Amino acid sequence: MSTLRGKVHRYGDHVNTDVIIPARYLNTSDVAELAAHCMEDIDPTFVSTVKAGDVIVGGGNFGCGSSREHAPLAIKGAGVSCVIARSFARIFFRNAINVGLPVLVCPDAAADAKSGDELAADLTTGKIENVTQGTSYQAEPFPEFLQQIIAAGGLVEYTRKRLVA
């Protein structure tokens, strides 16, 4: 894992999976199609402004609502390198870990970040730097079990190795 760097797209509390990817687009599993509608009902400009490597920053309970894995897949497909939030809803959190979308829990970094700020994050150490504001933060470490899944590149790879072993 390496350092990622990108511009912030900042949202508030309770960003739910219905606004991340509205159900009217769930008749497909195609990641590119899902990504084309990512965040549509909360930020219609997101898709036209997001650049590869950008970071979504949310408040509390990010990803609440439905279990649709289409939500982290749409975010990942849109080129977002990482989601940083004060806290995550549990199904979104496990889906992100399972599909290999980096997520970091860091209340201070989430509170300070503004849209357009440039952030750098080291996923191995959990160090987050707000380049624009000149501030740095430490994200909460992942439990050891989750680190194994992350290190394997997601739950499917983790399982494939287990099944072969």
Partner 1 sequence: MPMTITEKILAAHSGHDEVHPGQFVMAKLDLMLGNDITAPIAIDEFRKTGAAKVIDSARIVLVADHSTPNKDIKSAEQCRLMREFSLEQGVEHFFDVGRGGVEHALLPEEGLVAPGECIIGADSHTCTYGALGAFATGVGSTDLAVAMATGECWMRVPESIKVVYRGRLKPWVGGKDLILYTIGQMGVAGATYQSLELCGDTIESLPMSDRLTMCNMAIEAGGKNGIIAPDAITDNYMKSVTKRPYRTLASDSDAVYVRVMEIDASKIELQVSTPHLPENAKPVSAVRDVVIDQSVIGSCTNGRIEDLRMAAKILKGRRAHPRVRLIVIPATQRVHLQAIREGLGEIFIEAGGAFSTPTCGPCLGGHMGILAKGERAVATTNRNFVGRMGHPESEVYLAGPAVAAASAVLGRIASPEELS
The least CB distance from residue 83 to partner 1, in Å, is 15
Strand-pair category, 103-105 with 82-85: parallel
Site track for partner 1 across 40-69, x = CB under 8 A: -xx-----------------xx--xxxxxx
Residue 162 as a binder of partner 1 (CB under 8 A): the answer is yes
User: Which is closer to partner 1, CB of 138 or CB of 159?
Assistant: 159
Around Cβ 74, how many Cβ atoms within 10 Å?
27
Dmax over CA atoms of the chain, in Å, equals 47
Which amino acid appears at position 4 of this protein? L
Half-sphere exposure of 148 (CA within 13 A, CB side): 6
Element (H, E) at 98: helix 90-99
CA distances from 31 to 25, 50, 71, 114, 122 (A): 11, 16, 10, 28, 26
75-104: contacts with partner 1 (CB under 8 A):
87, 89-91, 94-95, 98-99
Q: How many chain residues are in contact with partner 1, going by CB under 8 A?
A: 43
Structural tokens at position 93? 């959190």
Site track for partner 1 across 121-160, x = CB under 8 A: ----------------------x-xx--x----xxx--xx
User: Which is closer to partner 1, CB of 33 or CB of 118?
Assistant: 33
Residues of this chain that interact with partner 1 (CB under 8 A) are 14, 16, 18-19, 22-24, 26-29, 41-42, 60-61, 64-70, 73, 87, 89-91, 94-95, 98-99, 143, 145-146, 149, 154-156, 159-160, 162-164
